[in-house]
A and B are shown apart, each in its own frame.
Chain A
Amino acid sequence: MSKTEITAEPGIPLIVMTRDFDAPRDLVFRAYTEPQLLVQWLGPRDLTTTVDRYDVHDGGRWRYVQKDPEGNEHGFHGVFHGAPSPEAIVQTFEYEGVPGHVMLETTTFQERGGSTLVRTVASFQSVADRDGMVASGMERGVHEGDERLDEVLARLQAG
């Protein structure tokens, strides 16, 4: 089974994420850009996503709200830069809980042998922004892990 690879290097305000999907590129692009498809997969299952607007064109705005099981709502919005295409989507991303901390996100889609490699590079304004955004914006409704220390160290060693 495919696994999401996430790299967050110390001292660099980037997060790089790659994932292979067993589907043609056009279909994956649709799942990323059609609101009725997007709400079916974006976020863990216990979050309900509602798309406010999704203007998929150069300069188009997007906004969605995610509601956790406790009823807390978290809004996100941004702007598309350049016309989104099955080759790449470039957009800004801002968590409304921490306004003013804007992230630039580039997602590329590469088809090879019927599957599609999706690579997302998220660029933050600072390392502190990256670490802070993940700590605050992503904790909504996500069950916290309690990884065992020796497993962590084993992984760090392997890396």
Chain B
Amino acid sequence: MAADRLSRVFGALADPTRRAILTRLTEGEATVAELAAPFRVSQPAISRHLKVLEDAGLISRSRRATARLSHLEAEPLREVTTWLARYQRFWDESHERLDDLLAALQAADEGGHSE
């Protein structure tokens, strides 16, 4: 994924309301009114959040009669998770190895003192 797109996805995910909207959309598509219902914010405010999510590629939108429906687009989220998971895994494994090394060094050190 291009770095600028990654930044847009991160920016979109930075807001708790937008994360809650994404979570709601894992249950299926929803109208703006349905998405606004759990929050103490106006529908226009929700629409602005949806625009940010759409620009980041995290949702797509379609029309049904007069209602605009939002759908979750999982791929960018998966790519971000892979990005973080990769970095996390690199350091998790390094640090587990360091745990082992430090334990071995301390054991050797104690052995040395008991001579």
Q: Identify the A interface with B (CB < 8 A).
A: 2-4, 6, 8-11, 15, 17, 19, 21-23, 27-28, 30-31, 37, 40-45, 127-129, 131-132, 134-135, 138-139, 142-147, 149-150, 152-153, 156-157, 159
Contact = CB atoms under 8 A, between A and B. Distances in A.
Interface of B: 1, 3-4, 6-7, 10-11, 13-14, 19-20, 22-23, 26, 74, 77-78, 81-95, 97-103, 105-106, 109
B103 to A, nearest CB: 7
A132 B4 CA distance: 9
B26 A150 contact: yes
Contact of B19 (A19, A135, A157): A157
Contacts, number: 132
A131 B83 contact: yes
A19 to B, nearest CB: 5
B89 to A, nearest CB: 6
A10 B7 contact: yes
